Amino acid sequence: MFSTALTWSDLAFLAQGAGMTLAVTAVSVAAGTVLGILFGIIRFQFGPYWSAPLTFALDIFRSVPLLIQLVLGNALQSIAKMGWPPFTTSCVVLSLYTAAYCTEIVRGGIDSVPVNTRRAARSLGMSWWQDMRYIVAPLAIRVSLPSWIGLTLGVMKDSALVLWLGLIELLRASQILVTRLQEPLFILLLCGAIYFVISLPIARFGRYLEERWSPND
Amino acid sequence: MIEIENVHKSFGPLEVLKGIDLTVKKGEVVTIIGGSGSGKSTLLTCINGLETIASGRVVIDGTDVHAKGTDLNKLRQKVGIVFQQWNAFPHLTVLENVMLAPRKVLGLSKEKAEEIAVKQLTHVGLAEKLGVYPNRMSGGQQQRMAIARALAMSPTYMLFDEVTSALDPMLVGEVLDTLRMLASEGMTMICVTHEMKFAREVSDRVAFFHQGIMAEIAPPEQLFDAPQHTETKKFLAATH
Ligand SMILES: Nc1ncnc2c1ncn2[C@@H]1O[C@H](COP(=O)(O)OP(=O)(O)OP(=O)(O)O)[C@@H](O)[C@H]1O
Ligand SMILES: [Mg+2]
């Protein structure tokens, strides 16, 4: 019969790790999305030439491995004597990383709204802002949603790297248990299952929205 | 009154409008005909300030459209425009398409905006389609919706840019009938069109554009039956 040394308190420890994963992901995705929307609008509005410096900066965040960004970010904040705890540093770095990807998603979404549709809105006397709010946003969100869900799930998995700054998130918590209990397969399976369970609602919610909108497109 | 004075407009090195003069009085219907690329659409977008101009003036009821301090959003409320490509807001129902601008731009209550929208949609024969999404309608119905959407802002002037040329021949009639109805109600209109028969019927004056110049403008009988300009003659011969 199957037996394990895993106790309830070990499970609680894993749950705490999952909580940390969720917290880092939620903060980073929220902040990264806000920044991404801002940068995406800037990129669209100012065109490739004027937004080149921004694009360049974001390209760095997209191409340098996240682990290096985290370690460098942590080093920088300590050199600059910011005194950030690892959680703050992790969230700041992950937010910028998320923003870099989100910017492209947002720009692509805005780009997908036909110029003529927007001209029609402006011709009715709508301001730039009203056009953005009532025409561009709803249409761009429909187009961008699948990529954004993908980004969120990706960031959740990538957030495991914050363990390098000493945060005990889900993967780190599992590692600690593996070392102590010497049951790697079972514990990693459990860890994977927890990742799956917390991803599921996000993926489901995305699919729900897509289905709700699709009949009108 | 729309006064267009010596308007020049270029896209990069290409001069698209080379000094257009045209005055359209209240209640007048002016149609614009001419070859592809002659600047007809560009003129319409310059009238409502969607495009800037290089020089000249467009004055609508005393307001200089392209002057610095002009509130274009306000000005556009009285100049409706309908384009060749159907551009419904695809995420909104027909009723919502028409209600949006009255609510958000004019600040009307939901009830009032809905009342106006239903009235305008009924006017163009779409009373049955209020809850339908635009992609479930034919091109002709979408164009009529676009007309109702513009009319819901109670514009003083309406600009139509080849509103039938992307439609199946079968559907052209219903849209032209809507335009005829508007003309007969006294709406001030500038219509760019390829429908010569329609132009002859509804117009007070017909303008012929050729390579960025208004080569000729005259009442329809004169322009169609006794054109003065050689290019007009050529164009009419080719379209008949
Ligand atoms: N946004 C733009 N950028 C660059 N060139 C443009 C732009 N819009 C129009 N043009 C050019 O300006 C010229 C006039 O275009 P316009 O659309 O006004 O012609 P038109 O008379 O409406 O023709 P059609 O009958 O084909 O609609 C064309 O050569 C066109 O290629
Ligand atoms: Mg045109």
In a domain, A192, yes or no: no
Nearest CA to ligand 1 atom 5: B11
Does ligand 1 come within 6 angstroms of the Cβ of B149? no
- Judge whether residue B215 has pLDDT over 50: yes
Q: How many domains are there within chain A? A: 1
- Judge whether residue A177 has pLDDT over 80: yes
Q: What is the CATH number of the domain that holds A157?
A: 1.10.3720.10
Does ligand 1 come within 6 angstroms of the Cβ of B13? no
Q: How far is the alpha carbon of A98 from chain B, nearest alpha carbon, in Å?
A: 28
In a domain, A149, yes or no: yes
Domain that holds residue A86: 23-168
Please state, for a pLDDT cut of 90, what percent of chain A lies above it: 86
Residues 6 or more apart in contact with residue A49 via CB below 8 angstroms: none
What tens digit of pLDDT does each residue of A74-123 get?
999 999 999 999 999 999 999 999 999 999 999 999 999 999 999 999 99
> Among the listed ranges A133-137, B213-217, B236-240, which one has the minimum average pLDDT value?
B236-240
CB B201 within 8 A of CB B180: yes
Nearest CA to ligand 1 atom 27: B36
In a domain, A194, yes or no: no
In a domain, A198, yes or no: no
Residues in A lying within 8 Å of B, measured between beta carbons = 114, 116-117, 119-127, 130, 134-135, 138-139, 142, 213, 215-217
Query: Of A124, A130, A216, which has the smallest distance from its Cβ to B149's Cβ?
Result: A124
In a domain, A62, yes or no: yes
Residues 6 or more apart in contact with residue B6 via CB below 8 angstroms: B19, B20, B21, B55, B56, B57
In a domain, A180, yes or no: no
Does ligand 1 come within 6 angstroms of the Cβ of B41? yes
What tens digit of pLDDT does each residue of B144-198 get?
999 999 999 999 999 999 999 888 888 898 899 999 999 999 999 999 999 999 9
In a domain, A186, yes or no: no
Alpha helix ranges (H) inside chain A = 8-50, 52-63, 66-79, 86-111, 115-123, 128-131, 137-158, 170-181, 184-213
pLDDT of residue A119: 94
Q: Looking at residue B207, what DSSP letter applies?
A: E
Amino acid present at A31: A
Nearest CA to ligand 1 atom 26: B36
Query: Of A117, A119, A216, which has the smallest distance from its Cβ to B50's Cβ?
Result: A119
Are B135 and A213 within 8 A, CB to CB?
no
Q: How far is the alpha carbon of A114 from chain B, nearest alpha carbon, in Å?
A: 9
For residue A1, what pLDDT band results from cuts at 50, 70 and 90?
A: very low
In a domain, A10, yes or no: no
